[in-house]
Structure 1
């Protein structure tokens, strides 16, 4: 049987990662995507709080209803973690209540992915300014995850992050190869990463978790349809068969 994971994706940046993920995950996986509305495209706390407000997400959720999703993901890291641990969970609950299917977000997916890998020490290579990145570190801390080192690249907008090419993404990952970290996190769904996860892991010699990767992983996991995928790194290789809540 097929599985449909609805994606609520803010604006435009690296949304073409999702058709690619759909393709490599194989027959029966559908990742329909709705672009949620954006006020100001800026990696600034106030702009991100506006980006993730309930009205925007619930409007997008109504558009997803016709796809009859088995699970839904708020495919945005910064527009979830700026609300904090409890706020990000409430955000997901509101969409879940509206559509009556399991719902999560990219920020919460990072926490669950790290736990599923049995890890608790990570490094973060972020596109955001430091002020914004610190909110992600705080959310990870609430999930029991220690950030051994944070590097912030001060990219001002999602649109600019979406312009980074393969070499730019590799350089970003290399910027924070903290030896104490068990994995490297690259938290921005506006950044193209899906095609290069195995190369990133080979370059750094450890698992690399990226935003669009963990978003797809979490959606499949919530729908009870997680499957191995050789193109998507340690996360998909090592956690297939781990049930939601484990």
Structure 2
């Protein structure tokens, strides 16, 4: 199976995706393509601009071969367009490539649905206003954010350099007794080696951006990604709830 990921910035979190795919199945082929950033100087406008469906389909033409499934592997560049906008991104990619397509933001919704989770806490690396945009995106899909922390951590280059201690600190700060799961929405973070320990520390599912993106892509392809030591989402314990689609 060949997984194609559209990724916003070269040489950030690709190695984390590669490690997760290798641990799930060494036979998974993984390729990346990079949409072009626009001219917007404002960060919020920039992430909306790069997520324009026409930019994503142009970038998808750079895959060396058409993948079996594709995902727009960026949290903020998909949720800042709202639920309808995220669905439009996926539909554009499916229409252009003829394969199942998703994004990290839609992957979060699919994972929460599979785990039957409706109340979450956000361990956000973003500014508080952008964290609120993600909470609003989740609310559109009926998911309630009961607690959120915002690290306001800056660039994806800085985030890619975060070590385990900083990731654990952020996740633990977001922990809340009313949350059924904790979300870490940032694909530049290297979280694959930490998935089991994160859940041990927080005592509940912890859904990282890398993990949900890969899980959702494999699920949409019709595979059942099950592996020990990668957290609840990959444990197989939740079972298959319903077929996924690029418009859900």
* TM category, shorter: over 0.9
Aligned-partner Cα distance in 1 for 2:224–2:58: 28
Number of residue pairs matched? 243
| Cα distance change on mapping 1:60 and 1:47 into 2, 3 Å | same
Aligned-partner Cα distance in 2 for 1:149–1:42: 30
Aligned-partner Cα distance in 2 for 1:106–1:149: 21
1:183-237 CA-to-partner distances (Å, cap 9, x unmatched) read 0000011111111110111111111000000000010010001221113200011
Q: How does 1:1-246 map to 2 (within 5 A)?
A: 3-12=1-10, 13-39=12-38, 44-64=43-63, 66-237=64-235, 238-239=237-238, 241-245=240-244
Asked whether the 8 Å contact 1:43–1:129 carries over to 2, the reply is no
Q: Which runs of 5+ in 1 are unaligned?
A: none
- Normalising by structure 2, report the TM-score: 0.92
Asked whether the 8 Å contact 1:43–1:157 carries over to 2, the reply is no
Asked whether the 8 Å contact 2:121–2:174 carries over to 1, the reply is yes
Q: Is the partner of 2:14 in helix, strand or coil?
A: coil
Aligned-partner Cα distance in 2 for 1:154–1:125: 11
Asked whether the 8 Å contact 1:227–1:241 carries over to 2, the reply is no
